[in-house]
Every structure is written in structure tokens, then in C-alpha cells.
């Protein structure tokens, strides 16, 4: 088993990335990401968001949880900004809840300060504050 762990660079029972996206009863779209985010997973999440937007969703409020987050996969094409160019005006707010060490990189990745909607980061124990901000 150790040879497999060395070959894969991770334990076989722990995926390199996890993502779950759902609409909560209050209208907030909750997204949970764990592990190392890759472009294919981001594309899948954006496809779900695109479907909701094209079905009439407006002023989306997104609550992004970074759980056991380990960054972005190196070598993937992160320069593809098509989703944000087409749909960023449909996203009113993004609240990110996670480890403070990811704050600067995550806000940069989300284009905070350069987008129609606001994005804010909240330390992982401040989910309530993140939800309150989204509700404003």
C-alpha cells in the first residue's frame, strides 16, 4: 500500500478534490470545496451555476466553504474567464468561509474588487457572519 501512496501522492481513499453545490431553502447557493481544486471540477460547478442562471436565477448569493482546501491544481488552464465574463453580473455576493491562510489567494481568484458583485472572506468559525452578510 505504501508504494501506491507514493505513486499517487495521496491516500487512495481520499480524493484529490471534492465539490458539492446545492441551493438552500433561503435561496443561497452553497458550494463546498475540499482538497486541491482542478479546472474540470470548477467547470462542472460553473455548468450547474450557468443552468440556474439561464433558468432565470438572478442576483445569486453564493456561500463558498473551503473544507480541507489545499489550493489549485498546478498546470490547469486557470486563464479561462468565459463564465465570469458572461455571468458575473448575475452573481450579487460571494461569501467565502475557510482557513485565513487562503483569504488573499481566494479573493484574487474570485476577482474581488474587479467584479459586479462583492466577495468577502470569513474565517471558518464565522459561518453565521457570512450568512448574515449574504442576507443583507
In a domain, 5, yes or no: no
Cβ pair 19, 31 in contact under 8 A = yes
In a domain, 111, yes or no: yes
In a domain, 7, yes or no: no
Which residues does 66 contact at the CB level (< 8 Å), separation at least 6? Answer: 33, 34, 96, 97, 98, 99, 102, 106, 124
In a domain, 78, yes or no: yes
**Does the pTM exceed 0.75?**
yes
Which tens digit of pLDDT belongs to each residue from 25-83?
898 999 999 999 999 999 999 999 999 999 998 899 999 999 999 999 999 999 888 99
Query: Would you call 100 exposed, middle or buried from its count of C-beta atoms within 10 A (0-12, 13-18, 19+)?
Result: exposed
pLDDT computed for residue 88 by the predictor: 87
In a domain, 8, yes or no: no
- Phi, psi torsion values for 43, nearest 5 degrees: -60, -40
pLDDT computed for residue 24 by the predictor: 92
- Report the CATH number at residue 49: 3.30.750.24
Which tens digit of pLDDT belongs to each residue from 90-125?
999 999 999 999 999 999 999 998 888 999 999 999
Q: Count of domains in the chain?
A: 1
d(CA 10, CA 70): 12
pLDDT computed for residue 116 by the predictor: 84
In a domain, 41, yes or no: yes
pLDDT computed for residue 58 by the predictor: 87
pLDDT computed for residue 8 by the predictor: 43
- In this predicted structure, the answer to whether residue 13 has a pLDDT above a threshold of 70 is no
In a domain, 60, yes or no: yes
The domain in which residue 22 lies consists of 15-135
Amino acid at each position: 500500500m505504501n508504494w501506491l501512496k507514493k505513486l499517487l501522492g495521496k491516500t487512495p481513499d481520499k480524493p484529490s478534490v471534492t465539490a458539492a453545490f446545492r441551493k438552500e431553502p433561503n435561496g443561497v447557493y452553497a458550494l463546498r470545496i475540499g482538497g486541491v481544486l482542478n479546472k474540470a471540477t470548477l467547470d462542472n460547478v460553473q455548468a450547474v451555476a450557468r443552468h440556474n442562471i439561464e433558468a432565470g436565477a438572478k442576483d445569486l448569493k453564493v456561500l463558498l466553504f473551503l473544507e480541507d482546501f489545499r489550493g489549485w491544481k498546478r498546470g490547469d488552464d486557470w486563464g479561462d474567464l468565459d463564465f465570469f465574463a458572461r455571468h458575473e453580473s448575475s452573481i450579487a455576493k460571494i461569501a467565502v468561509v475557510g482557513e485565513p491562510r487562503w483569504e488573499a489567494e481566494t479573493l484574487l481568484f474570485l476577482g474581488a474588487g474587479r467584479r459586479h458583485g462583492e466577495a468577502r472572506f470569513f474565517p471558518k468559525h464565522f459561518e453565521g457572519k457570512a450568512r448574515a452578510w449574504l442576507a443583507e
